[in-house]
Every structure is written in C-alpha cells, then in structure tokens.
Copies of this chain bind each other. A is one copy, B any other.
Amino acid sequence: MELNKRQEQIIQIVKDFGPITGEAIAEQLHLTRATLRPDLAILTMAGYLEARPRVGYFYTGKTGGQLLAEAVKKLTVQSYQSRPVVVDKNVSVYDAICTMFLEDVGTLFVVDHNTVLVGVVSRKDLLRASLGKQELTAVPVNIIMTRMPNITMCRREDSLYEVAKKLIAKQIDAMPIVRDTEHGAEVIGRITKTNITRAFVDLVNNETL
C-alpha cells in the first residue's frame, strides 16, 4: 500500500518522538486532531503504528513489505509437506535407484530398523555412484549416503521460510521432517523445493494468506 505525504510525516514524527499522543502529532503538523484521525486510523490498521490507551502512538517499525513478510513467515512446513520415501540402510545402491524411479522422488531418506533417520541420498549421489566401477547391486546405500550429523532436518511446526533459506544455503533439494523418539529422529515427512514452489504459487491462488 502506498502512503501519502502526510502519512509519511506522521510516521517520521512517531519514529522521532513516540510514544506520542494524537494531539501532539497534530500540533507538530499544525493541524487539528480531527483532520489527522483518518490517517492515524489507516496507519494503525495497516500495522505501521500501534496505539496504546493513555500512552499514545508507537512506531512498530513495519513497512508494507514487512507486513507481507510476516504473513509469509507464518506459513509452516506441515501445510506443504510431502510424504517421505525411505529405504533401509542395508539395501543396495541399485535398489535405491529403483525406489527413486518407482516413487519418482529426488531424495531418499535412509533409516534403520526403528525407522530412525540415519542418512539421506540424493539423485546426485546415486548418479555419482553409478559412474563408479563397482557393481551397484553389491554396494549398500549406507556407503554413499550423507550421514548424521551432517543431515539438515526440520520439524513440522518450523516456518516454511526458514526451511527455504536452509535449502538454498545448503544447496540441497529436500529435507526430512522428523520427530524425536527414544531411539532418535524418526522421519515423518519430506519438504522439497517443489513444495516451496507450490507455496509460492498458492500465494497468488490466495489460499494461504
């Protein structure tokens, strides 16, 4: 939303002198309180200012973009997650590749007999392995996987924004969603760049905000 000149002036005054009453703002602008009322109402409604009874107006420090940012930040992993595709740590690289094609995913999570996460294997890892000289049916997937503690994980209630940032920073396509059990981190979901892309599309489709 675009602010007019007077609204910009009001924000500046509240920034400099807040908390400040509506009367005091009006005085600085050589206007009446009544004249300012619509502008103060707009700025409060839009989240730029906060009003406290018997104290006055505060500057919240928020711009229009920041208010949008807050809405995006509230999106959580659980609204966009996919189901995880897991393989046992003892399966061969060949079987892992078959699972990846059958399930049509780009990342597999490797688990032990308690379905506790022990590794992650990507299409890139499998492609690298397939170039090697070893027989793929003879190499267990746990030889080529990324293992704990080098796995970036998240939880259901985490913000989608934080996860998106980590996917980019760590240059990975997917992250396991885990929950704690007595044996370790159990895999309960998967969050990928595809899920983030879908969240981006949903912003326009207006289903989230």
> Which residues on A are within 8 Å of B, measured CB to CB?
1-2, 37-39, 41-42, 45-47, 63-69, 71-73, 97, 100-101, 104, 106, 123-124, 126-128, 130-131, 136, 160-161, 164-165, 167-168, 171, 173, 193-194, 196-201, 203-206, 209
Contacts and interface: CB of A to CB of B under 8 A. Distances in A.
Contacts of A203: 68-69, 72, 203
A13 to B, nearest CB: 19
A199 to B, nearest CB: 6
25 contacts: A1-B46, A2-B45, A37-B37, A38-B38, A41-B41, A42-B46, A63-B206, A65-B206, A66-B206, A68-B68, A68-B209, A72-B203, A73-B204, A106-B123, A106-B124, A106-B173, A123-B127, A126-B127, A127-B130, A131-B136, A165-B201, A167-B194, A168-B201, A173-B193, A193-B193
